[in-house]
Amino acid sequence: MGAYILRRLMIALPSLLGISVVLFTVLALAPGDPFEELATNPNVPAEVKLALRQKFGLDDPVYLRYFHWLSAMAHGDWGFSFISRVDVDTLIAQRVPVTLAVIGASQVLALAVALPVGILSAVRPYSWFDRIASTLAFIGFSLPTFFTGVLLILLFSIKLDWLPFVFRADLSASGWQWWWEMFKQSVMPIAVLGLFQGATWTRYVRSAVLDVVRLDYVTTARAKGLAERVVVLKHVVRNALIPVVTLVALQMPAVFGGAIVTEQIFRIPGIGSLLIDAILRNDTPVIMAVTFVFACLVIAFNLIADLLYGWLDPRISYR
């Protein structure tokens, strides 16, 4: 097991290196200039523009810039934002907690919806409950989050005036008041992300459970006279959830990507909105760092999925 993890990590290194080369080249080839606003401002003398470009090494050839970035990264220096003139890691560290909280909560919500609904639908396939659940699930994952987000804002913030739609990371309240305000401002983004994800997962859970529920050992369990609850929870769900767990782990990076849009709509100061801002301002070091974090997440969660799979299903061995 330990050797397996080590081997997988060794394989991950060249992939990360490859990813970084691709990201860096694409960013270098992309149009745009971080000092665009200065370039169009006639009051900024040309010398200052040149000095700034030189200071940030923008005039070096691409491969040189890449090696600078790589060696700095190896030393734990994530780079320096052109726009904010701050180290990139502090920028990212400021944003990560919010994103983790929002995404974590939405994933919990998604599971809390997907598991019971999916299992119930599978246990009684083509019942009324299953039909309604399936229809809702189809609607849920065919509506993109940017649409449902705006829809919720229009309904709950503007028509009903119940919830705020501008997310504030540092609320001034404390104690219960803080929790209540946090709940009010988070409920919409979490619902948007969680229900979207939940809808997809409901379908997966349903089909996974359906596959298992017809197997002979389940019939045997029933024949033994076990209670239906025990049959479903102990015998069916445990086996059916193996592929679902993998899927949840594999989908995590995609969820981070999906959160970008939601963060923009609700003004959540997360890592996704940082990425959008950085792209709009051509702040290459920040774009590079954030996309690199995403790449690391993909690789990490792939590894976690593989490990979980083996742990849940003893038939699989690591070699």
Partner 1 sequence: MQEREIRALIERVRSGEMPRRSFIQRMVGVGLSAPMASMILMHEGIAQTPAPFNYKPTKRGGGGSLKVLWWQGATLLQPHFANGTKDQEGSRIFYEPLACWDKDGNLIPILAAEVPTRENGGLSADGRSVTWKLKRGVTWHDGQPFTADDAVFTWEYAKDPATAAVTSGVYKDVKVDKLDSHTIKVTFSKPTPFWATAFVAAEGMIIPKHLFGPYAGAKSRDAPNNLKPVGTGPYKFVDFKPGDIVRGEIYTNYHMPNRPYFDSIEMKGGGDATSAARAVLQTGEYDYAWNLQVEDEVLKRMEDSGKGVIFIVEGGDIEFLQLNITDPWNEVDGERASPKSKHFAFSDPAVREAMSLVTDRKSIQEFIYGRTGIATANFLNNPSKYRSTNNKLEFNIEKANQLLDGAGWKKGSDGIREKGGKKLHLVYQTSVNSLRQKEQAVVKQGAQKAGIDLELKSVTASVFFSSDVANPDTYGKFWCDIQMYTTTMTQPDPERFMDQYTSWEVSSKANKWQGRNICRWVSEEYDKTFRAAEAELDPVKRAALFIKMNDLPVQANIVVPLISRPRVRGAATKLVTQLTGWDLDLSGLQNWYRET
Chain residues that interact with partner 1, rule: CB under 8 A: 31-33, 35-48, 51-52, 55, 80-81, 83-86, 91, 94-95, 153, 157-158, 161, 164-166, 168-170, 172, 264-265, 267, 269, 273-274, 277, 280-282
Give the residue with the Cβ less far from partner 1, 109 or 274: 274
Residue 189 tokens read as 């983004």
* Alpha-carbon gap, residue 1 to 18, rounded angstroms: 26
Give the residue with the Cβ less far from partner 1, 9 or 86: 86
The conformational region for residue 197 under phi > 0 = left, psi -120 to 50 = alpha, else beta, is: alpha
- Gyration radius from the chain CA atoms: 24
Q: Could you tell me which residues come within 8 angstroms of residue 184 by beta carbon, excluding any fewer than 6 positions away?
A: 162, 163, 164
Least distance CB 70 / partner 1 (angstroms): 22
Least distance CB 150 / partner 1 (angstroms): 9
Cα–Cα separations (whole angstroms), residue 130 to 14, 42, 244? 46, 65, 19
Give the residue with the Cβ less far from partner 1, 172 or 317: 172
Least distance CB 93 / partner 1 (angstroms): 11
Give the residue with the Cβ less far from partner 1, 35 or 201: 35
* Alpha-carbon gap, residue 116 to 120, rounded angstroms: 6
Least distance CB 204 / partner 1 (angstroms): 33
Give the residue with the Cβ less far from partner 1, 10 or 158: 158
Least distance CB 15 / partner 1 (angstroms): 30
Give the residue with the Cβ less far from partner 1, 59 or 216: 59
Least distance CB 116 / partner 1 (angstroms): 35
